[in-house]
Chains A and B, each alone.
Chain A
């Protein structure tokens, strides 16, 4: 355990030193405060709009940003150390592969979690001062927790990438493709399936397919509780066949644990 914490501490401080924490927090805070205030600008009004609209617009932006940030933060955590030779050196230390991986995960995941909490928490506070409604904390609480899980999930996925390639530049390429597939292509494919193929998928089937993508689970978590007028497309269909929040959160947690276990498995097989 001490070893894991030593690694985690180093990774977390790397995140602070490289201004990751500050930049992610800033991006999230600016985004969420901006959306909270100007989300309704299109309809001609400036000021705090309804809670559900705010969370809906935040979720639909965060769903692109969080995976991208997580992948950027950790795509080189193993392949980078492999290239500089420190990975081989670390493995000659009394430090097991899973300890190293978990340490990194706690450190880098900590950066993402902390930044998400601070950044989005800021706009929750702001909304609370404007509306004085304690419902805000519940809605934002759910949003922040799911956002953190989404970030952790993509951190674990980027470890898989980082451990499977031998060059940093390749890892960057794969990270970009992964982001594109999960954040964009998957939904387009679902929509095509829904619209293009007659009797292609049932509502039930669609929701099940969505469990294959953590970004969709994140969307479902945050949009299913809202008025369906704020939601459209494939999601609206899925929401009607809604799963309980507990089920959705378990699916998100599975999307953290499974890639992480796979990463550990790949690391153990890897020869240096």
Chain B
């Protein structure tokens, strides 16, 4: 009953000698939003192409909606998958409406649906204009409208918010939340991190074709064991005199405590008991810090490995 919508089992892709993606195991459930993070060349796009069935895995298996996406049987599933490529420039000489109508027809939908989608992404006012007159943000909206054709069960979005202004970004996330509540699964591929964390259920961090970490944000935080930053104010050095608290003070700033996640509550209680406290600022490690942590750790591992190899 609860079979995952997408599952990769030790799937890998090599181009000649080059190991673009090495044995990746993951799964995505219905109605789940997965964030896929990594630098350029980390293997994000390759993974998306594997899931889309545009390329076949060199080893392992990929299953989407119970079928191998590169097989003939999976053909009819393709109209239930939406994809926004990272760098796409649509037919410049066509109008926005013509572009979207073309793509809608290829998925078996009509011009009317194309107009509705253009309205949804808010570029109806420009739909009769040629795409070459569009700004970066408008092109991105057109691309999103294209990915939303036919209310897909699975959406793969490569850098969806690039070029969008803050309002459009907010609208975009609203749409993602809406699709999610309709039961669609979304894979968001990005290296722009702020703002994305409240919209994803799980995150996957990739580097040079390897999976560094995967899990919910709090799981990742735990794995990374990054401290919580607590900034009390109005205490005037009382923290430094408190035996329970002063070990958390970092050298530079007397008023900032770096507290491990598991001791957070104890420290907060202690702080609240102090007199003179007039404000308290608690900040858990955000996705960006978690991401940095895993990347740095990975680089360190690599360095040790090469040093070990030389020695």
Would A86 and B88 count as touching, CB distance under 8 A? Answer: yes
| Interface presence of B87 (CB below 8 A) | yes
Q: How far is the CA of A95 from the CA of B108 in the complex (A)?
A: 11
**The one of A6, A14, A92, A95 that contacts B52, using a Cβ cutoff of 8 Å:** A92
Contact flags A1-19 to B (C-beta < 8 A → 1, else 0): 0110011001000100110
Q: Which residues of B contact A272 (CB under 8 A)?
A: 49, 54-55
Q: How far is the CA of A85 from the CA of B87 in the complex (A)?
A: 6
Q: Which residues of A contact B107 (CB under 8 A)?
A: 93-94
CB distance from A81 to the nearest CB of B (A): 9
Please report the total number of B residues contacting A with Cβ < 8 Å.
Answer: 27
CB distance from B37 to the nearest CB of A (A): 22
By beta carbon, the residue of chain B nearest A90 is B106
Q: Which residues of B contact A7 (CB under 8 A)?
A: 106
Q: Please give me the 10 A-B residue pairs with the lowest Cβ-Cβ distance, nearest first.
A: A85-B88, A94-B78, A84-B89, A92-B52, A92-B83, A6-B105, A93-B106, A94-B79, A85-B85, A85-B87
Q: How far is the CA of A13 from the CA of B105 in the complex (A)?
A: 15
**The one of A10, A94, A95 that contacts B76, using a Cβ cutoff of 8 Å:** A94
| Interface presence of A271 (CB below 8 A) | yes
Q: Which residues of B contact A95 (CB under 8 A)?
A: 106
Q: Which residues of A contact B86 (CB under 8 A)?
A: 85
Taking beta carbons and an 8 Å cutoff, which residues of B are in contact with A?
A: 49, 52-55, 75-76, 78-79, 81, 83, 85-91, 93-94, 102-103, 105-108, 146
| Interface presence of A88 (CB below 8 A) | yes
CB distance from A4 to the nearest CB of B (A): 11
- Quick one: given A94-B78, A272-B54, are A88 and B106 in contact (CB under 8 Å)? no
Interface range for A: 20 to 34
| Interface presence of A258 (CB below 8 A) | no
Contacts of A1-57 to chain B: CB distance below 8 A: 2-3, 6-7, 10, 14, 17-18
Would A271 and B55 count as touching, CB distance under 8 A? Answer: yes
By beta carbon, the residue of chain A nearest B76 is A94
Majority secondary structure of chain A interface residues (helix, strand, loop or mixed): helix
Q: How far is the CA of A90 from the CA of B53 in the complex (A)?
A: 12
Additional A-B contacts beyond A89-B146, A92-B53, A92-B81 (8; CB < 8 A): A14-B93, A17-B93, A84-B91, A86-B90, A88-B88, A93-B103, A93-B106, A94-B75
| Interface presence of A176 (CB below 8 A) | no
| CB-defined A-B contacts under 8 Å, sample of 8 | A6-B102, A14-B93, A85-B87, A85-B89, A92-B52, A93-B78, A94-B78, A272-B49
| Interface presence of A91 (CB below 8 A) | yes
Q: How far is the CA of A88 from the CA of B106 in the complex (A)?
A: 14
Contact flags A60-99 to B (C-beta < 8 A → 1, else 0): 0000000000000000000000001110111111111000
Would A94 and B106 count as touching, CB distance under 8 A? Answer: yes
Q: Which residues of B contact A271 (CB under 8 A)?
A: 55
Would A84 and B78 count as touching, CB distance under 8 A? Answer: no
Would A6 and B106 count as touching, CB distance under 8 A? Answer: yes
**The one of A10, A14, A88, A96 that contacts B85, using a Cβ cutoff of 8 Å:** A88
CB distance from B309 to the nearest CB of A (A): 32
